[in-house]
Structure 1
């Protein structure tokens, strides 16, 4: 599960201690998964009420899982509110979370389909020369950065890159124009590259137009840009999912540097009790 290190302009626990929390998240996730899996394996040894009570201690909502695949999804769904807490609260400050993010399918897709070592900034707002700038989502991969624009249209729609400002949607031989996703992607990429350059950090930055359900009709991709439509998606997705690498120091340095330039709006927390119900023992 990818890590949500920044959500829009919310205060993030990762911003406070960027070198600590990525590794801590992975350890907590692995430990809690082992406990849930052990509970699932022992389910027939327990009384039904005892099993349900133990299951509810993992803070997850929804129906009781009936097979191992459902257990995995149950676990992933239960991690989402925990990740939203880490991405909207530090130990001393908090941002007021828009509950819409709990049902945000794009956010859920990025978090649940990729490895733990992929670090996600979801629609972050950067503060450049005191001016807030909204950007596309950013994935800090162990070997580089992806500035990502996800496009979801009806399956019968074909996307056709046009000039610098326009792309086209074609359905039933009818073409309509829409604003090129490369406009915002280039802006995001320039911001990321300028921040890294200012700190003498060399890390590849790539622009990604991702449309899992739609054909992208193209001949050539622009420099440092990748188009992944329905024809390219399976190969690309398996390559990303199967990528095996531990967190790297250079990757976390990139994360810390980018987070330093993001905007956050928060208030002081008045409660000091432990609210993170994800098991941390």
Structure 2
């Protein structure tokens, strides 16, 4: 699952230390899945008894028992409740994995909107955003997502296209909405037409927004060595236009090609990637408030568990 490094103009954990939080996220994700999977296997193996009894057994379950004891002892801000015995006994491993993904999405939203001292109000549109969920679940942990970021160009904030920072390159992605039958077609070099049934709408060519984003990025990423790539995505519609040497187009028919071509990348996180992420975070607009004012009873930050 890709890492949500920046969401709109929200405060983010990654601003604290971009060199620490990516590896921390991967570790927490791995530990959480191992813990849930061990619980699930224990209930399958031992039947109806209380969950702690399953871990009193020596041998195979000793390591899992120690992990559970350690994690349950610390009630922290990032902890989430374990599934109940009944939930574990009556779920398949696929259902368990689906539940785990939902937990991860919630956890990422938490990290992308709060730090120990600051918090940003999450807009309802971002809490159940299918496109955001698609980006996060479609790519590996080594990819950093800047979703609808607001970057500073000098003293002016600029709403930019979504950025996907891989270990090798930075994708600038302009996403077009659709209802499953939407068709976009070119109307010259500056305008496109959007068709939905009998409806017709003229809109600016996606390249206008992409060029604006690229201009801002070139100022921010001077000397970074990061290669910029650009694409227009229309996951729920069709793009009916000719080829463009500067832009790549992916619509409902070819989104899987875009996804699969990037998922083949097995390169680990690179130093240049982290440096570029740091530069983008430094240039990002952040709107937040003091967490103690918003949530006066919150506890302290912890590395142990998801909330």
2:199 & 2:105 partners in 1: Cα distance? 39
CA offset digits 1:192-238 (Å, max 9, x no partner): 122112xx111111222111232322321241x21111232222222
**TM-score of the pair, normalised by structure 2:** 0.80
2:218 & 2:128 partners in 1: Cα distance? 32
Partner of 1:84: 109
CA offset digits 1:53-75 (Å, max 9, x no partner): x9xx74489x9473222222111
Contact 1:94 1:268 in 2 (8 A): yes
CA 1:76–1:32: 2 relative to 1, 3 Å: same
2:229 & 2:115 partners in 1: Cα distance? 30
Contact 1:160 1:169 in 2 (8 A): yes
Contact 1:94 1:266 in 2 (8 A): yes
1:60 & 1:189 partners in 2: Cα distance? 44
Moved more, 101-110 or 159-168: 159-168
* Paired residues for 1:135-174 under 5 Å: 135-171=160-196
* Paired residues for 1:1-281 under 5 Å: 1-44=1-44, 45-47=46-48, 50=51, 58-59=80-81, 64=87, 66-171=91-196, 175-197=200-222, 200-223=223-246, 225-270=247-292, 271=296, 273-274=299-300, 279=305
How many Å apart are 1:81 and its aligned residue? Answer: 2.0
1:86 & 1:38 partners in 2: Cα distance? 26
CA offset digits 1:77-126 (Å, max 9, x no partner): 00122111211112222222334422121211111221111101111111
1:11 & 1:43 partners in 2: Cα distance? 40
Structure exhibiting the larger radius of gyration computed from Cα positions: 2
CA 1:150–1:33: 2 relative to 1, 3 Å: same
CA 1:75–1:48: 2 relative to 1, 3 Å: farther
Contact 1:85 1:276 in 2 (8 A): no
Give secondary structure in 2 for the equivalent of 1:116: coil
How many Å apart are 1:161 and its aligned residue? Answer: 2.9
Contact 1:80 1:102 in 2 (8 A): no
How many Å apart are 1:156 and its aligned residue? Answer: 2.5
CA 1:94–1:161: 2 relative to 1, 3 Å: same
CA 1:228–1:38: 2 relative to 1, 3 Å: same
What do you get for the CA RMSD once the two structures are aligned?
2.8
1:122 & 1:96 partners in 2: Cα distance? 16
The unaligned stretches of length 5 or more in structure 2 are 53-67, 69-78
CA 1:172–1:129: 2 relative to 1, 3 Å: closer
Contact 2:117 2:290 in 1 (8 A): yes
How many Å apart are 1:269 and its aligned residue? Answer: 2.7
2:182 & 2:119 partners in 1: Cα distance? 41
1:60 & 1:145 partners in 2: Cα distance? 37
